[in-house]
Structure formats: C-alpha cells, structure tokens
Amino acid sequence: MASHAVLSSGSKMWKSMACAKSELRLDLTLSCGQSFRWRETAEGHWTGAMGGRVWTLTQTDDTLWYHVYKNQDKQKEGSDRKRRSGISLAEENTAEKRFKGAPEKDEEEPLAVSSVQNRELDEEMLRDYFQLDVRMDDLYKEWGAADCHFKRIASIFTGVRMLRQDPTECLFSFICTSNNHISRIQGMVERLCQALGSPLCQLDQTSYHDFPSVSALADSSVEAHLRDLGFGYRARFVHQSAKQILDNHGPQWLVGLRSVPYLEARDALRTLPGVGTKVADCVCLMSLDKPEAVPIDTHMWQIAKRDYKYTANNGQKSITEKLYRDIGDFFRKLWGPYAGWAQSVLFCSDLKKFQSFKETAHPKQPKKEEEDKEDKIVPTFCNKKVITCQKHQGAPFLELK
C-alpha cells in the first residue's frame, strides 16, 4: 500500500517552485477554515485533494515542495476530468483545459505523477489555487500603513493567503458550517466526499475522494443519506441547493458567477436554501474572485469591537443585516479592494489554535508592564493609504480619513 510522501525520505519524486514563506504559510492558510480537506499527514506536510488529484505539500523558507499521486483508476481519471470541466473542481481553469490534452502516462509509472510534461501544469494549478500572482508582501505593507493594529498582527501571521477554490466544493462545504466548528465541519465534508465523490487513491489507511458533482448532490437519495451521516438539517440544504442549481441554472452557473459584480454574485447565492449573507460572502471571497467580500461572524464582530472600538449605534447584541453591512463597509473603507484578504489574517490570528504564535512572539509581561502598555495604546488607524493591487488597479473604494 502506498504511503504519504515525506520530503526527508528523498526529493526524487518531489517537485518544487520558488515561494517564500512571507508569501504563503501552509500551516496557517490550509487550516484556518477556508478549505476543510487538507490534513497535516507529517510534520509540516499537508495532504489533500485539489483539481481531481491528491497532493502533499510542504515548504522550506523560500521553496514550495509538492508531490502529486497517481489516481488509482487511470482510465476513470480522464472521464472524471471531463466531468469536472462542467460541474466540479476548477471548472474553467486554464490548467484543467490544458490537462485534457496531456498524453496518457506509461503503465510502469510509479504512484507519483512526475513526468516532465506535467510539471508546468502542476505549477499552474498551484499558482491558481493559491493565487500566487497576488503579492502578499506588498498588500501587508499597505494594510499595515493604513492600520496600526493590522501591522502588529501581521508581524506574527505572515503569509495568510486566500485560496481560489472550486466553487462547487466551496459552496457546499460552507453550507455545512452553520452552527458548527472547524473540526466537525472537516469530518462532515470528508464523509460527504467518501459517500458521493469518486475515489482518487489510498495512502496508508486513508482513502481520498474527489468532491461530489452538483448532479450527484442533487440525487433524490442524498438528503436521507446525509442525515444518516449526521448532517442534520444541513442535509436538506445541501440537496435542495444542488437541485435548485440544476433545475434553474445549470451545472456551470456557479463558476459563471466569477464574471459578475460582487453584489450580484452574493445576491444570486442568497437565493439558495441554507445560504445566508455570511456563507455567500465566504463563497464569493474564497472561490468567485471577489476580494472585497468581507464575511462577518462573531469572531469579526468581536475583533471590530475589541481592536477597532467599533460600536453599533443602538448597542445591539446580535448581527443584523444592517450591522453586517456596516461592519463590512467599515473594513472595506479601512483596507480597500482586497479587504477580504486582510480580514482573513485577523480571523486567523483570533482562532484559539493559533494563540501560541502570539505567546511565542510576545512573551507575557509582568502585570505592571502590561497595564502601562495598555495605557499607551493609541487608536489603530494610521495615515490614510490608498490600497491597490495588480488584479484590481482602479477598483473603487474609500480612503480612511
């Protein structure tokens, strides 16, 4: 039985590309609640399904290393990729289109897909998935110049990058997030893939599956099946949303939302069962190329109140539609057109699992020193700063006055 790859066992079957940790931190980006399909299978090694194949990723200071496994059913792999071009992973990505024309691999090829002709494709898929054409160093500097609190956090949480996920996987994964936490969501998404997704390969005792297509999720038996798997009321939302997409729009509708304005895409998603404003914003930000989307949950509301002294006019205690919109506009005004990316850094820094990072970077001070430091804290807003980025030159936003 094949095993999960480990770089220390030898780099022969690994490929690499230049990527500094300041541009991408795998441990933060892959476990902060964007995607629920990556697992740390060895120290610093992350394994998951992406683009219809299984990958293990690891990194050194200036290099991203990747190992791609061959699917267990090679003949099925080709047909699965054609199916995905319409309704699942990386539907319209250039990398996927190019993959369809790749020559078949030799029967004696080892489990890893290591042929030279695939190297360029693999890098293209990784660049697309991690959006590596967006320079995080530049954005961090601009956000930090506009926001002193962000500047303090950024020195600890570098390389938190927004993924460009498959819209089908992103939507139905986030439908499962209602009244849930990350570890439980991971288990639900994994059970969903094992039950309805195509098998990809088995490593050690772990079986990896593709994410199910919209058609598979719309099958009449799905709701009952998911209830048996512990999805509760979310089972109905998954099935009804998939059926509504097929009946009213077609399988390519989701990926088509990448080409429409942010608010139009968000409103379209909100017509689906189980999709409120926050879930719609998550899907817009993490799969539909809408970097200005700022999902607001209790984490972000607490951050706004605690770190930015944000107060609602009427002192309300729950997030209403108006409060949601006002907080989002507040952060868009502060951070500019990539506000959703900046939000993900603060969200990540507030997760309990990452608090040790802060303790390591800033050892606890004696109580008197802490009190003196708190007395000297100034408002978090620095000089106004126009934030731009290659992908959104000229995008409209407000400066912070």
Delimit the CATH 1.10.340.30 region(s) of the chain.
Answer: 134-154+166-356
Task: Clarify whether 278 is annotated catalytic.
Answer: yes
For residue 19, what pLDDT is reported? 97
**Amino acid occupying residue 72:** Q
Residue 189 CB partners (closer than 8 Å, separation 6+): 36, 37, 173, 176
Is residue 204 scored above 80 in pLDDT? yes
DSSP-derived secondary structure letter, 147: B
Between these two residues, 18 and 387, which has the higher pLDDT value? 18
| C-alpha–C-alpha distance, residues 48 and 384, integer Å | 41
User: Which of these ranges, 3-12, 74-83, 218-227, has the smallest mean pLDDT?
Assistant: 74-83
**Amino acid occupying residue 382:** C
Is residue 199 scored above 60 in pLDDT? yes
Is 170 exposed, middle or buried, given 0-12, 13-18 or 19+ CB atoms closer than 10 A? buried
Reported confidence tier of residue 400, pLDDT bands at 50, 70, 90: very low
pLDDT tens figures, 134-155? 999 999 999 999 999 999 999 9
From the candidates 278, 305, 367, 401, give the one annotated as an active-site residue: 278
Q: Residues 101-124: what's their mean pLDDT?
A: 58
Delimit the CATH 3.30.310.40 region(s) of the chain.
Answer: 12-71+119-132
Reported confidence tier of residue 356, pLDDT bands at 50, 70, 90: confident
Reported confidence tier of residue 118, pLDDT bands at 50, 70, 90: confident
For the whole model, what pTM was predicted? 0.82
pLDDT tens figures, 285-321? 999 999 999 999 988 999 999 999 988 766 677 889 9
Reported confidence tier of residue 383, pLDDT bands at 50, 70, 90: low
| C-alpha–C-alpha distance, residues 7 and 244, integer Å | 44
Could you say which of 1.10.620.20, 3.40.30.10, 3.50.50.60, 3.30.310.40 is the CATH number of the domain covering 12-71+119-132?
3.30.310.40
Average predicted confidence (pLDDT) for the chain = 84
For residue 95, what pLDDT is reported? 38
* CATH number attached to the domain at 134-154+166-356: 1.10.340.30
Q: How far is CA 102 from CA 121, 126, 129, in A?
A: 9, 17, 20
The CB-based long-range contact list for 151-156 (8 Å cut-off, 24+ gap) reads: 151/382, 153/345, 153/346, 153/349, 154/345, 155/361, 156/349, 156/357, 156/358, 156/361, 156/362
Is residue 96 scored above 60 in pLDDT? no
Coil, strand or helix at 86: helix
Q: How many CB atoms lie within 10 A of CB 8?
A: 10
Is residue 377 scored above 90 in pLDDT? no
Is residue 100 scored above 90 in pLDDT? no
For residue 362, what pLDDT is reported? 63
